[in-house]
Amino acid sequence: MRSIRNRLALMFFGFTLAAVAVIYVYVSPSLESNLRTEKLASLAQSAGAYAGALQRSTDSSVPKRVVDMQVRRAAELSNSHVTLLGVTRGSLGIAIYPIADSQNVSRPSELAFPAATQAVRTGRTVRGWESGGRVGEVARPLYFQGSVARVVVFSTPLTDVQGNVALIRRRIRIAGAIALAIALLAGYLVARALSQRIKRLEQTAGRVAARDFSARFPVDSADELGQLARALDDMRGQLAELENARKKFIATASHELRTPIFSLGGFLELIQDEELDEYTRQQFVGQVRQQVDRLGKLATGLLDLSRLDAGSLDLRPERTDLDMLARAVTDEFLPALSQHASHLELRLGRGSLQTVCDPERVAQIMRILIDNAITHTPEGTNIVVTAARDNGDVRLSVRDSGPGIRPPALERIFEPFYTSDDVQGSGLGLTIARELAERMNGRLRVDSRPGRTTFTFEMVG
């Protein structure tokens, strides 16, 4: 029963069995009742059409042979058994007795004519049956001088109804058995086809789990399984892209780490040379310090990027004055600006610029953007940092008057390890800045043209 194929087949069988049982238990009895009702309705219609001819029999002066002839005539026209009964009322109550019968019998012993007695009491036409439902009767009262004098009973056997119902029940059983067999077979075949499709998806998923991203999930229809296969194939494509990106990331990171490590090794060997003069030695030490700083920035960037990818970087939003934050961050770059012979202008909007954000991460984004402007522009390039509110949103922008970014590079500057010029750098800063901006429900965009490049960080204020 763990197999979906067997469970679906049994489910088909169970539904079909339930349907056949409902038809057999519910439809058959109601069918028999409906057939009896229709039979009695037809008999009542005949009684209404031919009982009037027997009204003259209520006069005792009519000869017996005439009455017998009228009863037989009514029986022939109605195709039923007609019995004319007389009525007596005594101390023991109402009693009926036969006067004439279309079959020339004085009184059938198996018939008690309960409908006739009821018709005398109510004065109306009464339908019923007796002999265990085998005979249907319609009793119609005949009036003489304002009272019921006689009752004519039209009766017909209901054995044909029982025979028809028995035939229908027998055919239902046969058809039900055939339907159950077909349902079991069809359910098994349908379930087998479905299980085979699911098995193919399972096998492909196993290959994808083993990093075989060339395996394709078969999209063989537009039904739910086909939609699932399409979704799984889209997931496979995304996993393949992530795997390629991971391999590329590892290869690039290894290369970026290898370069400064080899440089450090070479400079250390040169510094160990005893014949090296002090001036050259100090230059080599400076180069070592630069490579160490580069390694430190690269290690920090890789750590931040891995924490962002893993979703383990926690944000601590609080009420922050962005004016003060912008001043504090720009002050940190005064030494670097002095060495770069550049001027930084801080432009703040009117009024207090307060919002709820993570001040440490916002400051990190600003540091990345300002450092990027200093590193990738010629000496003496002016930089403008702006903090303002625009239509309820907070905007922090860093603009430089450098040569700008080439259009082909604009589409890739946020990729890890990508740099648009020959300046040494990790190429992780803008990637981290964009990830941080998106984590704070903001966005980081760039607008560049010759003579001006602007990075803008926007977030809901």
pLDDT for position 162: 73
pLDDT for position 253: 65
pLDDT for position 109: 52
pLDDT for position 312: 61
Question: Domain total for the chain?
Answer: 3
Buried b (16+ CB within 10 A) or exposed e, 174-212: eebeebbeebbeebbeebbeebebeeebeebeeebeeee
Supply the CATH number for residue 123's domain: 3.30.450.20
- Return the SS3 of 390: strand
Residues 381 and 446 occupy one common structural domain: yes
Residue 203 lies in a domain: no
Residues 299 and 327 occupy one common structural domain: no
- pTM to 2 decimal places: 0.47
Residue 192 lies in a domain: no
Residue 124 lies in a domain: yes
Residue 346 lies in a domain: yes
pLDDT for position 251: 67
Domain of residue 15, residue span: 4-162
pLDDT for position 295: 76
Q: Which residues have CB under 8 Å from 66's CB, separation 6+?
A: 57
Q: What is the mean pLDDT for each group of 10 consecutive residues in the chain (461 residues)?
A: 68 79 75 82 87 75 84 88 86 83 66 85 88 84 84 86 78 82 80 82 87 83 82 86 72 65 76 75 78 74 67 80 90 87 87 84 90 87 90 88 85 75 62 86 90 90 66
